Amino acid sequence: MSLQFSLKFRMNENIPGRNLQEDSILFEERFSRCCPLLHFLAFRILGSDEEVEDAVQSCRITASRNPPRFQYEGAFRRWLVRVLMDEALAVLRQRKAALPLSVE
């Protein structure tokens, strides 16, 4: 079994004695600790406070749908940063698509 498969399997395996409410509370606690970093990164990418809030909220929604169970806080934070970057890049793509084309 490869290391990557092994890590994915351990990350998503069910932990006996835990329920969805505990998982939800743990996710919210971890997410709130990462919020300052997520806001900072989103602002660096997007440059607009309004778009930053939208990107962070989209990140929260996307991440909360199926949060993995990372043992270490750093792994969770890296995963959230990746989700946020995907959301911010989607905003940039939408912004670029909305620009009028110039005929020159």
* Domain assignment present for 13: no
pTM of model > 0.75: no
Please determine, for residue 10, whether its predicted confidence score (pLDDT) is greater than 50.
no
pLDDT tens digit string along 60-94? 999 888 777 777 888 889 999 999 999 999 989 98
The DSSP annotation for 37-84 comes to HHHHHHHHHH--HHHHHHHHHHHHHHHHHS----SSHHHHHHHHHHHH
DSSP at 18: -
Domain count, the chain: 1
Does residue 46 belong to any structural domain of this protein?
yes
Please report whether residue 59 resides in a domain. yes
Has residue 16 been placed in a domain?
A: no
Range of the domain at 88: 27-95
